[in-house]
Amino acid sequence: MDSLTSLQTKLRPDGILVLTMNREAQYNAMTISMVEELESALTQARANADVRAILVTGAGEKAFVAGADIKEFQQLTPAESRAFAERGQRVLQQLEDMPVPVLAAVNGFALGGGCELALACHLRVASDHAQIGLPEVKLGIIPGYGGTQRLTRLVGKGRALELMLTGNPISAAEAWRMGLVNHIVPPADLMPKSLELLGYMLQRAPKALAGVLEAAAAAYQGVTEGYAAEANAFVSCCHTDDFREGVVAFVAKRAPIFSGK
């Protein structure tokens, strides 16, 4: 994959696609073009069988993404405002729906659209100096890229409302305590820890990983839908070469060699 102007893409030999928000001088503030580049990169990634996981991060050490570029939406008409929000919602839903593990390596400020980007990832590892929040009410607006929905589901209504109604950011330590991030590490350990975590997942059967992601996503649709999705994924995995390999390897007390079939 080619590196794009404000979104760098790098596919590692192990199958991890690293997406780097690349506007370091602007604290990686997310522009409309960056959202469009992300959409294109995700479309390409979904069609590329060599992509087995995705890691999203920001250039430099100061910011993951410090928010949206305010200059781009302060003069929008109502119709343009809706299109702006719906575009971001669509792309971040595309990220959340990826059939491979997606991890956000939060290396600094993750505010507004940056927080929403991190929330759309399946897992989050944060530097211990990261600041995370949805400060939109301080500008007289609200999160528009799905933040009101994902944050509420992730940490509960009361905690989510406190963050969104005050607009105050929280530390990485507080984010970990409320379950917003999976791990916090020193800055030097952020990428190694993120790659290590994804590395464990790459040792598992790809179709099983996709099945877990699909079933977990269905949990938000209701109990009936969630159980149905789990059963469907279970049945699908039971008829794969990887399941047979997993059983043989378990009996033989060796590590399985999964093929993705």
Q: Mind listing the pLDDT tens digit of every residue in the chain (261 residues)?
A: 434 479 999 999 999 999 999 999 999 999 999 999 999 999 999 999 999 999 999 999 899 999 988 777 778 888 988 999 999 999 999 999 999 999 999 999 999 999 999 999 999 999 999 999 999 999 999 999 999 999 999 999 999 999 999 999 999 999 999 999 999 999 999 999 999 999 999 999 999 999 999 999 999 888 899 999 999 898 999 989 888 888 888 899 888 888 888
Is 176 in the same domain as 232? no
Residue with tokens 């979904």: 46
Q: Of 186, 202, 218, which marks where a domain is finished? A: 202
Does 145 share its domain with 69?
A: yes
Of the residues 37, 116, 174, 245, only one is catalytic, namely 116
Residue 116 known to be catalytic: yes
Q: Catalytic pick from 36, 86, 136, 214?
A: 136
The answer to the question of residue 170 being in a domain is: yes
Strand 170-171 versus strand 131-133 pairing type: antiparallel
Sign, CA dihedral 200-50-1-217, equals: negative
Number of domains, the chain: 2
136 is catalytic: yes
78 and 141 fall within a common domain = yes
Residue 176 included in any domain: yes
Q: Are residues 243 and 166 in the same domain?
A: no
Q: Which amino acid is at 250?
A: F
Dihedrals φ, ψ of 246, to 5°? -60, -40
By the 8 A CB rule, do 40 and 1 touch? no
Both 84 and 33 in a single domain?
yes
* One domain for residues 160 and 231: no
Domain CATH code at residue 124: 3.90.226.10
Place of tokens 């933040």: 147
Query: What residue numbers bound the domain in which 158 lies?
Result: 7-202
Task: Tell me: do 218 and 165 sit in the same domain.
Answer: no
Rounded to 5 degrees, what are φ and ψ at 134?
-125, 90
**57 in the same domain as 72:** yes
Q: Is 26 exposed, middle or buried (0-12, 13-18, 19+ CB in 10 A)?
A: middle
Q: Considering the domain boundaries, does residue 52 fall inside one?
A: yes
- Calculate helix-pair angle for 241-252, 223-238, nearest 10 degrees: 70
Residues 100 and 211 in one domain: no
Domain-located, residue 146: yes
Amino acid 1: pLDDT: 40
**Does residue 50 share a domain with residue 37?**
yes
Query: Do 189 and 230 lie in a common domain?
Result: no
